[in-house]
Amino acid sequence: MSANPNSYPARIAAKLNLPERSVAAAVQLLDEGATLPFIARYRKEATGGLDEEQLRAIEQTLTSLRNLDERRETILSSIREQGKLAPALEEQILAAETMTALEDLYQPYRPKRRTRAGIARERGLQPLADLILAQPRRGETPESAAQPFVSDAVPTVEDALAGARDIVAETISDDAEVRRQTRDKAMRFATLAAARIEDAVDEKGVYALYYDFTCRIDRLKPYQVLAINRGERQKVLRVRVEIPERDWRQAIHKVFPDHPLSPWAEQLRLATEDAAKRLLLPAIERDVRNALTEMAETHAIRVFAANLRGLLTQPPLAGHVVIGVDPGYRTGCKVAVVDPSGKLLETATLYPHPPQHQRREALALLADLVRRHRATLIAIGNGTASRETEHLVAELIRQWEEAQHNGGRTDLRGSGAPSLRYLIVNEAGASVYSASPLARAELPDLDVSMRGAVSIARRVLDPLAELVKIDPKSIGVGLYQHDVDQKALAVALDGVVESVVNQVGVDVNTASPALLTYVAGVGPKLAASIVAHRNEHGPFPTRAALKKVAGLGPKAFEQAAGFLRVRNGEEPLDASAIHPESYATARRVLKLAGVDMRAPVAERQAALDALLERKPLPALAQELGCGEPTLADILEQIVRPGRDPRQDAPPPILRSDVLSMEDLVVGMRLRGVVRNVVDFGAFVDIGVKQDGLLHRSQLPVGERLSVGDVIEVEVASVDKERGRIALGLASI
């Protein structure tokens, strides 16, 4: 199979089980510089409606195939330069479909350091090695055949035979078929064993499960592989792969059989033993370990990406004045008050916990902030001292509610004051944001430690807008995230952020540079230019005005325009997800329906329903010269322009009181928020200090949870000594 670009769509379509025509269109669009969100949203007719996940798989497979073909050409050139590219070998290389298969074929021709076999060849022992491989049944004995090879460099007959065996051992180990068969059997039947290194330091017993651990390779779980790898790196565990002897012997014997009647049989058996133990098995062990690690890392990255998507798609809690609290002990709790737009109103520091113990003063200061700013929500970061701070806030709310019941006669709460609730916020990455250049630019007069409280408060108002300011890798919702390929992790997580940002859409007149960076076709440099233009010339009146931004050319405008919103601008369609290239079609639809974009929602819906009764979607699309998928999107956006898909998600749980483990009893039903999803289940915040574990065995087959899901659970067991809570899904 040659490196022919025209073959890529067919190869990708076969691999992913997708229509070749759709794949070909996607490949062409990608090669023309189109982004995944743009293709998924605005080129549905061309791709047959491929979704973003399918398009990402196409992009990844395309990259993989191109890398494979590039490596193929490099290998062919290298072997050709050596003068060893036989037609049969070239055919094998052209037919190889994986990088591993390619490297196996290249192994005998790969430039090597000076090996024992290489030295033996230099001493002229290749003909003797050929006899061992040929296994002739007649002729002279190995000893007599070796006699002519004795020289100053090869002092004895045994030295000659040993050198010949070195050549044979390397030949066996380098053989592509031997490697393939041994590797395939190892991936199915080999065992991975881990043991504690004597005198290794593991004070907390983190790796105790693996002190005496064995498991068949094909039964290992991804988290086990990653944990064992980490234990090995930290010099706590010694790890080995045990390949059954029958498997590697069969693999070698099929390609290099010895003949029992040949006087050379013993020489081949000795070379086989040496090849296996010195060369082949260590190489296969490395391959197996690498394959396990790659599979485990791919799985871990997928888990991290899914959890990040759940976190980013949390619905915003608009309209609140929020008090953000970044809890702490010695340095106190940092407090920031922000208005519904995220503007910072006031900051303070509380010292309710050890060593200061100023609980009464902290309550009074919090109450004063709530009253003066008419705050309705307190957001508590989930880090150190989080639950102790939660108790403090719960006490404040109890006093607040008591004051209300007393008719607002106390100083704590005035008449007509709003209700007050709190929630726990995932503060992962807040400290990273606090020290970033973006935070310094946004909050230049604020201490680094206080910026975290601002970030926590803003995450409630719009989680996505705030979380995009942080490197996705610093948002801790992953599985062994620091142990996986960091480049692959960054690519996957950036893809998730890009996907969510473009799915939600961005208000071009209020978005931060960090948010604009993830808009399709924009990037960091252009995002900075958009904000600079906005600061200098004021809000953009239309999408078309974006064309005046320095560096924003036609291609960038095409990719980005549909995801950028201009609300309350000169063109009503600019507030929708309708692309400017479809404005003419949208206006014709409005004219046919006899309605205006400024009409009430119900009126627009009724007018479009009436239009579709007269002209069903296929007929209307044909009349307008528009694809049905695009027309369906236009109709949806005319009714609800720029609708935020996060509105479909259940809002976070707002609490007014706190539970302790002592309050829990088996069978108690609670509403909880999924905080993290891992291989063995989901950790759920049910309002006590420890998250409860909902084991995967408790979930119905096929049901999957995401970070941020609000679910009803039932307490299955409580282990107060170990601080563990087991949960089950509450039955209806």
Query: Residue 470: which of 448, 437, 505, 443 has the closest Cα?
Result: 437
Encode 473-495: b = buried (16+ Cβ within 10 Å), e = exposed.
bbbebbbbbebbeeeebeebbbb
Q: Which residues lie below 8 Å from residue 456, measured CB to CB, with a gap of 6+? A: 324, 325, 326, 336, 379, 380, 381, 425, 427, 430
To 10 degrees, the CA torsion angle through 256, 260, 263, 265?
30
How far apart (Å, rounded) are the C-alpha atoms in residues 159 and 154?
Answer: 6
| Residue 280 confidence (pLDDT) | 97
3 state SS of 647: helix
How far apart (Å, rounded) are the C-alpha atoms in residues 442 and 602?
Answer: 40
Cα Rg for the chain, rounded, in angstroms? 33
Query: Residue 418: which of 374, 387, 353, 452 has the closest Cα?
Result: 374
How far apart (Å, rounded) are the C-alpha atoms in residues 149 and 83?
Answer: 27
Contact 460, 322 (CB under 8 A): yes
Query: Residue 542: which of 582, 523, 569, 513 has the closest Cα?
Result: 569
Q: What is the pLDDT of residues 68-106, one digit of tens each?
A: 999 999 999 999 999 999 999 999 999 999 999 999 999
For 216, 280, 297, 449, 601, the CA distances from 224, given in Å and listed in that order, are 12, 26, 11, 37, 54
Residue 662 has pLDDT above 90, yes or no: no
Contact 380, 386 (CB under 8 A): yes
Give the residue, 732 or 598, on which the prediction is more confident: 598
| Residue 4 confidence (pLDDT) | 62
How far apart (Å, rounded) are the C-alpha atoms in residues 414 and 404?
Answer: 8
Domain 506-648, CATH:
1.10.150.310
CATH class assigned to 661-729? mainly beta
Longest dimension (CA), the chain: 115
List phi, psi (to 5°) of 512: -75, 160
Look up the pTM and report it. Answer: 0.86
Residue 680 has pLDDT above 80, yes or no: yes
Q: How does DSSP classify residue 156?
A: S
Residue 412 has pLDDT above 70, yes or no: no
HEC letters along 572-596: HHHHCCCCHHHHHHHHHHHHHHCCC
| Residue 723 confidence (pLDDT) | 83
Tokens of 173: 């180990």
Per-residue pLDDT band at 591 (split at 50, 70, 90):
very high
**What's the number of CA atoms in the CB half-sphere (13 Å) around residue 133?**
18
| Residue 414 confidence (pLDDT) | 47
104-111 average pLDDT score: 94
Query: Residue 670: which of 704, 723, 716 has the closest Cα?
Result: 716
643: left (phi over 0), alpha (psi -120 to 50) or beta: beta
683-700 average pLDDT score: 88
For 340, 377, 463, 522, 662, the CA distances from 656, given in Å and listed in that order, are 21, 10, 21, 42, 18
Average pLDDT, the chain: 92
What amino acid is encoded at 229 in this protein? N
Per-residue pLDDT band at 431 (split at 50, 70, 90):
confident
380-409 average pLDDT score: 83
Q: What is the pLDDT of residues 302-322, one digit of tens each?
A: 999 999 998 899 999 989 999
Q: How does DSSP classify residue 277?
A: I
How far apart (Å, rounded) are the C-alpha atoms in residues 104 and 533?
Answer: 56
| Percentage of the residues of the chain whose pLDDT score is greater than 70 | 97
How far apart (Å, rounded) are the C-alpha atoms in residues 105 and 109?
Answer: 8
- Tokens 């607040």, located at residue: 400
Query: Residue 501: which of 430, 563, 426 has the closest Cα?
Result: 563
Per-residue pLDDT band at 1 (split at 50, 70, 90):
very low
330-359 average pLDDT score: 95
Residue 48 has pLDDT above 90, yes or no: yes
Give the count of beta carbons closer than 10 Å to the beta carbon of residue 97. Answer: 12
For 44-58, 64-78, 718-732, which range has the lowest pLDDT when averaged over its residues?
Answer: 718-732
| Residue 584 confidence (pLDDT) | 96
Residue 709 has pLDDT above 80, yes or no: yes
Q: What is the pLDDT of residues 527-541, one digit of tens each?
A: 999 999 999 999 999
Contact 49, 59 (CB under 8 A): no
Q: How does DSSP classify residue 568?
A: T
List phi, psi (to 5°) of 669: -100, 135
| Residue 6 confidence (pLDDT) | 65
For 140-144, 370-374, 472-476, which range has the lowest pLDDT when averaged over its residues?
Answer: 472-476
Helix (H) or strand (E) holding 225: helix 222-233
| Residue 3 confidence (pLDDT) | 53
Sketch the domain layout of the chain as residue ranges: 5-109, 116-190+243-304, 322-494, 506-648, 661-729
Q: What is the DSSP string of 204-222?
A: T-TTGGGTEEEEEGGG--H
How far apart (Å, rounded) are the C-alpha atoms in residues 531 and 441?
Answer: 13
Q: What is the DSSP string of 465-497?
A: HHHTTS-GGGS--SSSTTSS-HHHHHHHHHHHH
Per-residue pLDDT band at 732 (split at 50, 70, 90):
low
**What's the number of CA atoms in the CB half-sphere (13 Å) around residue 679?**
14
How far apart (Å, rounded) are the C-alpha atoms in residues 727 and 681?
Answer: 10
Tokens of 572: 């009503």
Q: Where are the beta strands (DSSP E) in 361-447?
A: 377-381, 421-425
How far apart (Å, rounded) are the C-alpha atoms in residues 391 and 659?
Answer: 9
Q: How does DSSP classify residue 702?
A: T
| Residue 203 confidence (pLDDT) | 86
Kindly tell me the burial class for residue 392, based on how many C-beta atoms sit within 10 Å of its own C-beta (0-12, 13-18, 19 or more).
buried
Give the residue, 428 or 8, on which the prediction is more confident: 8
Give the count of beta carbons closer than 10 Å to the beta carbon of residue 255. Answer: 15
3 state SS of 201: coil
- Confirm or reject CATH 3.30.420.140 for domain 322-494, answering yes or no: yes
Q: Which residues lie below 8 Å from residue 602, measured CB to CB, with a gap of 6+? A: none
Residue 469 has pLDDT above 70, yes or no: yes
Give the count of beta carbons closer than 10 Å to the beta carbon of residue 587. Answer: 12
| Percentage of the residues of the chain whose pLDDT score is greater than 90 | 77
Query: Residue 267: which of 140, 153, 133 has the closest Cα?
Result: 133
Q: What is the pLDDT of residues 142-194, one digit of tens each?
A: 999 999 999 999 999 999 999 999 999 999 999 999 999 999 999 999 999 99
Tokens of 469: 């300011």
Per-residue pLDDT band at 648 (split at 50, 70, 90):
confident
| Residue 408 confidence (pLDDT) | 52
Length of the chain: 732
Q: Which residues lie below 8 Å from residue 650, measured CB to CB, with a gap of 6+? A: 315, 709, 710
| Residue 272 confidence (pLDDT) | 97
Q: What is the DSSP string of 170-208?
A: HHHHH-HHHHHHHHHHHHHH-EEEEEEPTT---TT-TTG
Q: What is the pLDDT of residues 508-566, one digit of tens each?
A: 999 999 999 999 999 999 999 999 999 999 999 999 999 999 999 999 999 999 999 99
What amino acid is encoded at 536 in this protein? E
Contact 620, 679 (CB under 8 A): no
How far apart (Å, rounded) are the C-alpha atoms in residues 545 and 535?
Answer: 14
Options 3.40.190.100, 1.10.10.10, 1.10.3500.10, 3.40.50.1980; which CATH number does 116-190+243-304 get? Answer: 1.10.3500.10
CATH class assigned to 5-109? mainly alpha
344-358 average pLDDT score: 95
HEC letters along 311-373: HHCCCCCCCCCEEEEECCCCCCEEEEEECCCCCEEEEEEECCCCCCCCHHHHHHHHHHHHHHH
